[in-house]
Structure 1
Amino acid sequence: MTQIDLYSKNSRCIDRVFLSERRYIVNFQPVDLVIANGTVHTPEGSSRHNVCVVGGKIVGLTDPSNTPPAAKVIDANGLDVLPGLWHVHCHFREPGHTYKEDFCSGTTAAAAGGITFCIDMTNNDPHPTTLESFELKRETIAPKALVDYALYGGGLYPKTVEALAKAGAIGIKVFNTRHVKEVYPYISELGVVDHGILHELYEAVADTGLLCAVHHDDSEWCKRLTFRDYINAGRTSNRDYMEAYERGYMYGHGMAAGLAASTYYARLTGVRLHVLHMGVMPPAANELVRFAKSQGIDISGEMETATLFMTREQAEKVGPGTYSFAYAPEEHWRAVYDGTAEMLVGEHAPHTLQEITPGWQDAFSVPLGVTGAQEFIPLVLNAVNEGKLNLNDVARLCAEAPAKRFGQYPKKGRIQIGADADFTIVNMKAESVFTAADMHTKAGYTAWEGVSVKGMPVYTIVRGSTVMDHGKIVGKPGYGQFHPGIAVS
């Protein structure tokens, strides 16, 4: 049996912690928070423990008979206690496009959906591709976040990558793509379609040790075939767009072609490559990632819930409010089960109804996006109730795996002593139906309108403080902390 002395940040001594193989036995002075009587989940298993928190950190896991007095107790009887869940693909649109979303509304939606940590993307105005624009974004959003967060630096200029890393970028995001009609959110200036520059970006990112996250494509391939078979033929309705998507013209075969080249550049440069949008590529893309891993390339990927759960019927009903639907779901589920995709995401990419409504007639000329900050975790919990996942999978796919890949583990990503006290507490019996009226996003709609789910977050707790309690937002803007990237060797 090992004895450990722990101290909180305010120097209040926690007597002693004894660790045994079977349980934690803790003799405490009063603690700040106890989450009592819940079932605690890690990727390896589940157990009945109370969780003790002091100074925003986890300081003990006890059985109910040996729990210290606490300033606050959350009774989690009948509930499941997960590590704070992550959303690693958010477009909160600030600065520059705050009429669509801002960091306050976006992180409020995330908190309502059980998310404790968000990573925000780069298609802003100005885009965070230089030290000055990155610092402007960081300073602008700091007073607004309700949950913890990190920021990608924009991959456009190889010479600015080192400065972005030093400024705290969690990784470098590269748009290896352009929209067929140069429509936002694919800011044309951000599109790196010159493969020489792409290679130099990979070299620069490899030197920092950060992750390079890439939206792959072969833009000219996609543009030529889409114009030939759809736009020039006057076939531009939302249903035509869905057909083009299903054929792989929009988000599809061109992305797989771009990925094939990119994995080779990753091999040459040694960059830590992270593949975005695996779910909207054809299954061949999964095979490319599997092969790259077998060759020792440092590569990971994220799978969108939209392409696991969104039916074509739902996508056609919502129309321009969603860019995708289930694309070879059986193959993409296999990529989740076998570890080809290490993490799940529910991409949040909102636009206003005014912007997207013309897409019923011409879906190729409106911004592409989908909502997901608030809906992501309930959709995943519903998949658990349907038997597609279990809660140990959720702890891995939505917390521990992203925390490790983005260099924030063991501070975040797991319920263990010494980690930040981030928790997503869920009621697996609770049922809900998504409606626009319940959404916190500025977009004014949900891509999942009318979809029923079973399993809902009931508490979102960030560093020991409750920011959402049974659907009510109780956290304050500015509480969320910025977490800089950490190089992973």
Structure 2
Amino acid sequence: MVNDKKKFDLYLANAEIVTPHERYKGDVGVRNEKIVAILPSGTEVTAEKTLDLTGKCLLPGIWHTHCHFRDPGQTHKENFETGSRAAAAGGITMAIDMTNNTPPPAEPETFLAKKESAESKSYIDFGLYGAGLHPEQVQNLAKLGAIGIKVFNTRHPMDAYPYIPSLAVTDHGILYEIYEEVAKTGLVCAVHHDDSDWTRTLVQRDYIQKGKVSAEDYIEAYDRGYMYGHGMVSGLASSLYLAKIAGVRLYVLHVGVMPEMAYDYIQFAKSKGQTVYSELEACSFLIDRAMVEKIKTRTYLFAHNVDRAYEYLKYDTDTLVLEHAPHTLEEITNGLTNNFNAPLGVIGVQEFLPLMLNEVNKGNISLERLLYLTTESPARIFGQYPQKGAIAIGSDADFTVVDMNQEKILTDKEELSKSGWTAFDGVKVKGVPTHTIVRGTVVYENGEVKGKAGYGQMVKGTAYQP
């Protein structure tokens, strides 16, 4: 505790402060965007603004490490302003945006253009991946502040990403050279794996050529590992070996969507001393087959083995997300004529935290473990700890305030994403964010976004912070 009681810009009073490691009653004082005091509850101070958080939990600001804000490019689905506003309403203080853009941020010019645009629109702080396409550009992207390098290691990009086929890296020689260059920077290389040659053959043979393209057919194919399944695991297997030889810090995306052997491959690599991080998709336990059969194209990403996913959540994964990959209702409805052409994704940045707080209240994960996966761990992996991801003197004054007893029903009507719908329409949750505070500024409070577009700052990538 630090006894600095000079006038504060913001004073957070009477909270239950919860971090990955402890809980205690206390007050927090903020000045010049930083935490400058942690004091006993009831301490008399002067402040420009005081929030009485009696009955609420004060958490480190929550990270969301897998957002597709579609900007520039597919901005009819989402843009940085609407996506970051939805994030603020969901209790998110720091978002990492992917590279599904037109043009992709693969060279200095396109990366800087995206950075400048995002800085003018974002409500919250953010990191930007650089697109891993050209080995010779990796160092340049790192110098410009990329939070990491993202690679789409997929064989048939037109099948899954018809609007960004240029993003795919299909040649293992180029992939290895990208890994080599990223290793020199100390950044992570985040990879979407999909060795889809052989699974594509199975889909064509067993489904499409037979005219089996209904929602039920797609669900069956997904459950068999034909779609976003076995091909992702075989791609992961080869990538792990390439990454080990190159010495890169590999950040594995879509864990939990892949069949179970992906868990085993990652754990084996870790047991051999390889630096590998896993980002678990919350849909691996939040969405079951029965739910998908009801909502159909609103998402086809459902749990293969809920018990294994929960076990991995509790003990093994490094980070946790509900991937934010918006498409319009018209686009997903059009997919019903041939479900294998339906755009895949979940609109999740606003719903992620309420859904996970509900899991805490159900006893499926502790609040401390949830906070580790969504604050301290990503902050360390992306080199920002303890500037972010901590409640400590000198840290950025990023906070998420939650009411663990408040109940609400998630609805399309309240969705702030530009696409305007959620796969979780009608789902009741217990535990909601009430305030989102970014560097000492309240950007969301009790159902109202109060921040301004352009307040958010880009956070530059650095190496792992132990």
Which residue identity is paired with 1:34? Y
For residue 231 of structure 1, what is the aligned residue in structure 2? Answer: 208
**Compared with structure 1, are the counterparts of its residues 307 and 473 closer, same or farther at alpha carbon in structure 2 (3 Å cutoff)?**
same
Distance 1:288 1:333 in 2: 18
Residue identity opposite 1:436 in structure 2:
D
Structure 1 181/134 Cα, relative in aligned 2: closer, same or farther at 3 Å? closer
**Residue matched to 2:92:** 115
Residues 369 and 313 from structure 1, CA distance in 2 versus in 1: closer, same or farther, beyond 3 angstroms? same
- Paired position in structure 2 for 1:441: 417
Residue aligning to 1:350:
326
Q: Distance in 1 between matches of 2:135 and 2:99?
A: 16
2:446 is matched by which residue type in structure 1? H
Q: Which residue of 2 aligns with 1:195?
A: 172
Q: In the TM superposition, what is the alpha-carbon distance from 1:201 to its structure 2 partner?
A: 0.8
Kindly indicate whether residue 373 of structure 2 is the aligned counterpart of residue 377 of structure 1: no
4+ long deviations beyond 6 Å: none
Tell me whether 1:173 sits opposite 2:150 in the alignment.
Answer: yes
**Alignment coverage as a number of residue pairs:** 465
Which of 249, 252, 255 is the aligned partner of 1:272? 249
Deviations 1:41-100 (A, max 9, x none): 111121111111111101111112434221111111000111000000000000011110
Q: Which amino acid aligns with 1:159?
A: E
In the TM superposition, 1:171-320 aligns within 5 A as: 171-179=148-156, 182-184=159-161, 187-320=164-297
Runs of 5+ in structure 1 lacking a partner?
1-23
* Counterpart Cα distance in 2 of 1:128 and 1:75: 43
What secondary structure does 2:159 align onto? coil
C-alpha deviation, 1:184, in angstroms: 2.5
Shift of 1:434: 1.4
Aligned to 2:21: 44
Q: Does 1:416 align with 2:392?
A: yes
Q: In 1, Cα distance between the equivalents of 2:162 and 2:451?
A: 30
Q: 1:430 aligns with which of 392, 406, 409?
A: 406
Answer yes or no: is the 8 Å Cα contact 1:123–1:185 preserved in 2: no
Equivalent residue number for residue 386 of structure 1: 362
1:64 aligns with 2:41: yes
Deviations 1:177-222 (A, max 9, x none): 1457534367322111211111111011111111000011112022
- Report whether the alignment pairs 1:467 with 2:432: no
* Distance in 2 separating the partners of 1:448 and 1:177: 29
User: Partners of 2:158 and 2:206 in 1: how far apart?
Assistant: 15
The residue type paired with residue 88 of structure 1 is T
Give distance in 1, aligned partners of 2:354 and 2:416.
15
Partner of 2:428: 452
Q: Which amino acid aligns with 1:280?
A: V
Cα distance in 1 between the residues matched to 2:319 and 2:209: 38
Does structure 1 conserve the Cα–Cα contact (< 8 Å) formed by 2:57 and 2:404? Answer: yes
**Alpha-carbon displacement from aligned partner over 1:85-131 (angstroms, at most 9, x marks no partner):** 00000000000111100000000000000000000000100011111
Distance 1:88 1:25, change over 3 A: closer
Matched, 1:150 2:127: yes
- Could you tell which deviates more after superposition, 62-71 or 28-37? 62-71
Cα deviation, residue 390, structure 1: 1.8
If the length of structure 2 is used for normalisation, what is the TM-score? 0.97
Shift of 1:276: 0.1
| Structure-1 separation of matches of 2:351 and 2:156 | 26
The percentage of counterpart residues that share the same residue type is 51
8 Å Cα contact 2:381-2:463 kept in structure 1: no
Contact 1:176 1:192 in 2 (8 A): yes
Superposition deviation, residue 316 in structure 1: 2.4
Any idea what SS the aligned residue of 1:142 has? helix
Letter in 2 for 1:370: V
**What is the CA RMSD across the aligned residues, in angstroms?**
1.3
TM-score by length of 1: 0.93
Query: What's the CA shift for 1:444?
Result: 2.1
Q: 1:111 to 1:98 in 2, by over 3 A?
A: same
Taking the aligned partners of 2:330 and 2:27, their CA distance within structure 1 comes to 48
2:453 alignment counterpart:
477
Q: Deviations over 1:319-360 (max 9, x none)?
A: 212130122121122112222x11110100001111111222
- After alignment, is 230-239 or 289-298 more displaced? 230-239
Amino acid at match of 1:125: T
Give the Cα separation in 1 of the matches to 2:443 and 2:43.
27
Which residue identity does 1:308 align to in structure 2?
F
1:96 correspondence with 2:67? no
**Structure-1 residue corresponding to 2:343:** 367
